[in-house]
Amino acid sequence: MTRHLRVDEPIHDSPLDQMAQGVLGQPLNRLEGPLKVSGRATYAAESRPRGMAYGVLVQAAIPAGKVLGIEDAPGAIAVIQDKRMIRYAAQGLAEEGPKAGPEEVEYMGQAIALVVADSLEAARHAAQNLKIRYDVQDVPVDPTAVVPELPPKKQSSTGDLDKAMQQAPFSVDAVWHTPTHAAAAMEPHAAIAEWDGDSVTIRAGLQMLSSNRKQMADALGIRPKKLRLLAPYVGGGFGSKLGINAEAVAAAIAARELGRPVQVVMTRQQVFDLAHRRSETRQRIRLACDHEGRLTGIGHEALVSNLPGSDFSEPVTQATPFTYAAAHRQIVHAVARIHRSCAGSVRAPGEAVGVTVFECALDELAEAADIDPVALRLRNIPTVEPDTERPFSSHKLAEALHEGAERFNWSERRPPRQRVEGEWFIGMGMATAVRVNQLVEARAKVTLGPDGRAIVETDMTDIGTGTYTILGQIAAEALGLPQERVEVRLGDTDFPPATGSGGSFGAASSGTSVYLACEEVRQQIAKAMGCEAVDLTLQNGLARAGNVEKPLSDVIQSPLVGEGYVEPGKTEKSVRQATWGSHWAEVAVNRWTGEVRVRRMLGLFSCGRILNEKTARSQCLGGMVFGMGIALTEALEHDPRDGHAVTRDLGEYHIPCHADVPHLEVHFVPERDPYVGPLQAKGIGELSICGSGAAILNAIHNACGIRVRDLPATPDKIIAALDP
Amino acid sequence: MKPFSFHRAASVADLPAGATIIAGGTNLLDLMKLEVMTPDALVDITRLSLDRIEPAADGLRIGALVRNSDLAADAVIRRDYPVLTRALLAGASGQLRNMATTGGNLMQRTRCPYFYDRRMACNKREPGTGCAAIGGITRNHAILGTSDHCIATYPGDMAVALRALDAEVEIDGPAPRRVPLADFHRLPGDTPHVETVLKPGEIITAVVLPAPVGGQQRYRKVRDRASYAFALVSVAAVIRVQDGRIAHAALAFGGVAAKPWRDPDAERLLIGQQPSDALFQSAADTVLRLARSQGDNGFKIPLLRRTLIATLRDATGMEAAA
Ligand SMILES: Cc1cc2nc3c(=O)[nH]c(=O)nc-3n(C[C@H](O)[C@H](O)[C@H](O)COP(=O)(O)OP(=O)(O)OC[C@H]3O[C@@H](n4cnc5c(N)ncnc54)[C@H](O)[C@@H]3O)c2cc1C
Ligand code: SF4
């Protein structure tokens, strides 16, 4: 009853294109939208089990050392210090709980205990006033002040880059800095834990339930079967909810100890301290090209940071090896071990900052070689992946560049400082968008009843992206049902495991498992109709084969159940899978104050089949805004003395908001990718982040002639280079 | 949050001794949740009839409970004191301005991140503990009027415009009085926890504006993003040019000191002169002659200079001519 697919071969003709319902790809509204805007969607902290107590995490006030003692808090039911409490969040897809033992402090703000009381106010008051004794340790907190590690597997070199640089008529050799970024999801991390005997149910804001369950079971020392996770609605994750975090573990421990349900919600400041941060980066880029602008040398050296022993390091150079070709190449990846909060995946780890900086460097090369930036990119698109010589699964960069230039009126771009409107310099910039693509394991179950209603179940999450809607569309298409006859149930580990939401792989992977489950059901319908599945047409609740047409209720006596299971196969390695696009921006730079205002942006993206034009577009709009944040506003500042996060609320950590965001335009370059399974769909959300900031930074240069290499490009950085 | 008693005052005479006033609550509530402020008693004054804008001798009296949104939208304010409307609309967000009151806005506390963080030493929060900001991240700190005890700014916008308009603050209490806004906020010195001349048991009942002075009025706020963000620097300017010469100049600066900053010397330098870049440069030199950088905030010195010059060019019509 399980339809299993290992994607070993390309699927050029998708059966989905033979189906008749016509709902797939439609720009449908989000199914759960009305629940959300009317407050009826219950997020992690919003249920109220009887007898619930409130927990507040206690945070270390030292950069590193040992907790010697915590004195009891008046007004609290309990102050819980348990060896199983975790020091930082689990990394995405980890199979085990993260490092436990809160009495050892690794960074300022680490959770070291939980205070529980009968009200949130009382718990918070007690937590804020605990007397804690420490043994303080002196540790490095500045990534540039330590000798970094150079993990051997992450370095690579082809040819002789130094020589290529010396011999090239045109070259760029410069250093960029990007600051720490926070995911800054709207919903703070929260959990409610409730035990029943030796089984526990935890409602939490999480992105990847099946691995979260393993992490949590490991952290608590129980069997995964005894643990149920619920996350039907998640108020954004952006990587920060990939792995379990301190609040959920503490809630479960406290609930067990106290014999009553416990809720733990992080304060906004705690979210900034305890959710993974994107490491700051120092990036040196070296580029060399010949007289025609053909790249001869590419060097990308990155320095990132994380806590000692943490295995994640921001994959800054992830897309560099395959985006452009050059005979001489070098990748350097260095990791500084310092005691700031744990670094992990945040909004397109790697390319978000790596592609942004690389595309700025390319703009500098275009200027040096006096070649149009679009032409420079077009000239350097490889036909196969450099080094491995694997083919690309699909590659529509050239189309995205040509169409973008046309739509944006790129030909109207003038040299720097030529377009002036009052106090404002106006300029245009562009960049390539690129992001690796990944298909992951996923399972789903589909039940079709005689009443012509279907139910889709998987532990996949919808973190605000539209997963409920697109999974419903896939099932509706495959089963020939109007969308409203399909109910989608997500975010419950009782359902078949998907990998979850992350790395932009959710829609394509989970969607494929739903499609496979439907295929299984279709097979059963075909059998009942006495035909082959390929000869079966399902539409509007009717089954048709040859010249026989019947309502489903006449065909099915009892519910039909199908399960789908997809896993990546040979195409994961046989081709280079990536998504491509182009970014375009027009900005105004104030010649007095250095303020930058983005006037318009355009993004073109090719990411396989578009499952829902509206939710896909929304993903891209959000991603382009993230790019604005990287280019212009976002920086989580750390205190140089103790490494604590300073700009730790949404008033000081500046996400671009309504007044910052101008007209944004998104177009999809039509394509299908046969190497990713029958859906032919790929990741979307992250692609639109990668490079969007570079288009803005390049536009700043085109406006006023200034290159900001120390991001974000706040007014101080601009006026430092403007004429007095 | 620390437990507190709550009282809703029916009249100004009905303010319990020692109680902390809550008006819109947009600043106080945040600080109470973080236990940066821990009042034992709160008195809600929003039922008092202090929410009117009315004519006063030669000017206008703005009740302490007039909401920022209402004040910004008032027809008389927009006509006669446009710099005030502009400053208000440059502050916070629509939702916050709907709650924020005139009195509360004047009394809003600094946005120094170390003040907000109870793990950090802060002379303002806990007198005598030191100042963790000095030597830390000082991007939003002051360049003028600082002391070794505190380098925080007064973060608001409205008060900067009021300062350029020579407003006065009406105070009720045991000894009712009026204080020029110029004297209302205090520089830190060695008592940064004392931010205004308001004494315990006193309440702001109104802000009084003198007769309108006309002229070109500008409020220019430079910030890290266009949506709500506090000023890196701001300039309020009221400038009148007569027969090609500057006849009236009032300039106030925000984001640079523990109070809305004004420099009579710089204004004197402008009066009677023909507008020119050189003149504006020397006015900026005068304002900034005592400016001191803490490192991260050093950019505020050139930024204030540039913003002042741009504002003066705009207000004197030079920008349009250029
Ligand atoms: C996210 C955010 C962004 C913001 N951005 C800006 C900005 O860009 N520019 C800006 O100027 N402001 C900004 N603000 C601050 C906002 O303007 C103030 O919070 C608001 O004006 C305070 O008014 P309130 O009535 O809510 O004061 P409350 O919070 O009620 O009180 C603040 C203080 O004033 C005292 N107080 C209140 N009324 C009186 C009175 N009549 N007499 C004596 N004491 C009194 C209270 O005791 C308290 O100490 C922002 C605030 C937030 C939260
Ligand atoms: S600058 Fe003032 S408010 Fe900030 S930490 Fe120092 S004393 Fe406190």
**Which chain A residues are Cβ-neighbours of B229 within 8 angstroms?**
651, 654
Q: Which of A571, A590, A605 is the last residue of a domain?
A: A571
pLDDT in tens, B254-288: 999 999 999 999 999 999 999 999 999 999 999 99
* CATH code at position A515: 3.30.365.10
Of A592, A656, A715, the CB nearest to B310: A592
How much is the pLDDT for A72? 83
Please check whether residue A499 lies inside any domain of the structure: yes
Q: B159 and B181 in contact (C-beta within 8 Å)?
A: yes
Mark whether A530 and A664 lie in a shared domain.
no
Characterize A544-553 residue by residue with b for buried, 16 or more Cβ atoms within 10 angstroms of its Cβ, and e for exposed: bbeeeeeebe
Mark whether A592 and A466 lie in a shared domain.
no
Please check whether residue A164 lies inside any domain of the structure: no
User: Does the pLDDT at position B91 exceed 80?
Assistant: yes
Please check whether residue A81 lies inside any domain of the structure: no
Query: Could you give the C-alpha distances from A38 to A31, A189, A614, in angstroms and in order?
Result: 13, 21, 21
Q: A459 and A209 in contact (C-beta within 8 Å)?
A: yes
Q: Domain total for chain A? A: 2
Q: For chain A, say whether B137 makes contact (Cβ under 8 Å).
A: yes
Residue ranges covered by each domain of chain B: 5-46, 216-316
Sequence-ordered alpha helix ranges (H) in chain B: 28-33, 68-73, 75-80, 82-89, 94-99, 102-107, 158-164, 181-184, 264-270, 277-287, 300-315, 318-321
Range of the domain at A514: 2-9+440-571
Q: B111 and B224 in contact (C-beta within 8 Å)?
A: no
Q: Which of A571, A588, A621 is the last residue of a domain?
A: A571
How much is the pLDDT for A311? 92
How much is the pLDDT for B275? 98
Please check whether residue A583 lies inside any domain of the structure: yes
Mark whether A420 and A493 lie in a shared domain.
no
**Which chain B residues are Cβ-neighbours of A626 within 8 angstroms?**
none
Residue A123 alpha carbon to ligand 2 centre in Å: 27
- Tell me, yes or no, if A671 is annotated catalytic: no
Mark whether A398 and A375 lie in a shared domain.
yes
Q: For chain A, say whether B33 makes contact (Cβ under 8 Å).
A: yes
Which ligand has an atom closest to residue B9 CA?
A: 1
Query: Could you give the C-alpha distances from A229 to A257, A355, A495, A528, in angstroms and in order?
Result: 19, 36, 10, 37
Q: A113 and A80 in contact (C-beta within 8 Å)?
A: yes
Residue A594 alpha carbon to ligand 1 centre in Å: 29
Please check whether residue A476 lies inside any domain of the structure: yes
Mark whether A457 and A423 lie in a shared domain.
no
Which residues in A438-546 belong to E strands, given as ranges? 442-448, 454-457, 486-489, 536-539, 542-545
How much is the pLDDT for A73? 85
Instruction: Return the CATH number of the domain spanning residue range B216-316.
Output: 3.30.390.50
Mark whether A445 and A470 lie in a shared domain.
yes
Task: Over range B217-239, report the average pLDDT.
Answer: 97
Query: With bands split at pLDDT 50, 70 and 90, how would you rate the model's confidence at B320?
Result: low
Mark whether A565 and A596 lie in a shared domain.
no
Mark whether A710 and A593 lie in a shared domain.
yes
Mark whether A422 and A476 lie in a shared domain.
no
Proportion of chain B above pLDDT 70, given as a percent: 99
Please check whether residue A36 lies inside any domain of the structure: no
User: Cβ of B306 and A129 within 8 Å?
Assistant: no
Please check whether residue A224 lies inside any domain of the structure: no
3-class SS at A159? coil
Residues in chain A where the model's pLDDT stays below 70: none
Six token digits for residue A411? 């030909």
User: Cβ of B119 and A422 within 8 Å?
Assistant: no
Pocket test of ligand 1: the residue of B4, B27, B65 to mutate, having most ligand atoms within 8 Å of its CB, is: B27
State the pTM of this model.
0.98
How much is the pLDDT for B58? 86
Mark whether A519 and A635 lie in a shared domain.
no
Active-site choice (A367, A634, A671, A686): A686
Report the phi/psi class of residue A247: left, alpha or beta, with left for phi > 0 and alpha for psi in -120 to 50: alpha
Q: Do the strands A53-59 and A111-117 form a parallel or antiparallel pair, or are they unpaired?
A: antiparallel
| H or E element at residue A571 | helix A571-574
Six token digits for residue A663? 């007209």
Mark whether A466 and A393 lie in a shared domain.
no
Please check whether residue A61 lies inside any domain of the structure: no
Mark whether A475 and A388 lie in a shared domain.
no
Give me the amino acid identity at A459.
Answer: D
